Amino acid sequence: MYSVISLLLLSLLPLTFGAVVPAQNASVACNNSPDLCNRSYSNITQLGAHDSPFLRDASTGNSLSGNQYVQQFKAWQHQLTDSRLVNTTAQLNAGVRLVTAQVHNNNGSLHLCHTSCDLLDAGLLSTWLGEVGTWMDANRNDVVTVLLVNSDDNTAAQLHQEFVQAGIDKYGYAPSQNTQALQTWPTLQSLIAANTRLITFVADLDPSTTGPAGAPYLLDEFTFVFENPFQVTDASNFSCIPDRPPAVAGNIQEAISSNRLSLVNHFLDLQEALGITVPNFANAKLTNANSGVVGSLGAAAADCARQFGKQPNYLLVDFFDQGSAINTVDTINGITPVGRSQPSNVTNPQQIVGSNAGIKSTIFNELIGSPLGALVLIGIGLQIVMISL
């Protein structure tokens, strides 16, 4: 188990593994700190909001598939006790600099859907990108990273059109080559000065198609990034071992020597009936803690830094405002942040959890209310019939 001392040692990594030049103008903050301005994009740890637009609010029927939280309620009483806003804008205001989403083709339109548009549909991709763009318009000293899971293999041209419609393509950073990982990334100040402040990764996308589509800023994620495993349901099972892409799976040394950036998935799922997993809000404060518990974010970051030989580039979490996720990242980067605003009315997860039976009942209700869920239930019924025969 790692202590606060581990995090203090981890905070020295930017000095150990990369030269940090003081910002020329200490009054100018890049990504909420003057100390980050002259640091390479690849020498910074960024907090990521996993499935950023998938909220648990009225717009999604308080779906348990939501990975970011808006309304606090007592699950076993379905009683609203508090409300606040933690949408993508609020996440960026609080210091999140990586936002991720899943993209699905829903009857010809690109929507943000969690696994299936029948389960949770957060609306049009272009609308959400417009929200990110509006924030970037107002925050000109910030570099933002967007990671899109391209669930239905949409083309570069299709995705580019969404960025154009949102008016955010103008911020896209296009490296000199996009078929292999970069040995050297620009500094934040360089990206800001060039107004190429949007780094966009897509999983997956054929790099050879982005140029002809007029979208060289759309970067195939696994050309530039490796990830550890996800869908973890036991806090003791978090691992730093690369899981994707296949070229570096299981081999940390190969992943690091490939110059890929490191994305550490650190969110806990809850295994429920029918083989369904949902984001585990009950343990969010512990999962996102600095230290003191098995599976804390701070412990995982320290462990991965030790194994990688350098600080992780991204820490991706659910329920970003629960626990100490942003403080953990600030400690790793060795900064005292400025210019942030936190979501108000911090929730108490213990008021939300309720009994497992209550959660399972809610999941069952979500299933029978969607075509996808109906198919799942029909399949289970057929299995039961076969067993009985």
Classify 110 in phi/psi space as left (phi over 0), alpha (psi -120 to 50) or beta: beta
| Strand 109-113 versus strand 98-106 pairing type | antiparallel
* CB 127, CB 87: distance < 8 Å: no
Classify 353 in phi/psi space as left (phi over 0), alpha (psi -120 to 50) or beta: alpha
Using N-to-C axis directions, what is the helix angle for 156-166 and 125-138, rounded to 10°? 50
| 220, β-bridge pairs | 202
| Strand 71-74 versus strand 68-69 pairing type | unpaired
Q: Which of 78, 104, 111, 114 is catalytic?
A: 114
Report cis status (omega within 30 of 0) of the bond before 204: yes
114 is catalytic: yes
Strand, helix or coil for residue 303:
helix
How far, in Å, CA of 386 to CA of 388, rounded? 5
* CB 114, CB 102: distance < 8 Å: yes
Distant-in-sequence, close-in-space partners of 137: CB < 8 Å, separation ≥ 6: none
160 is catalytic: no
How far, in Å, CA of 240 to CA of 253, rounded? 12
Catalytic residues, by residue number, are 50, 114
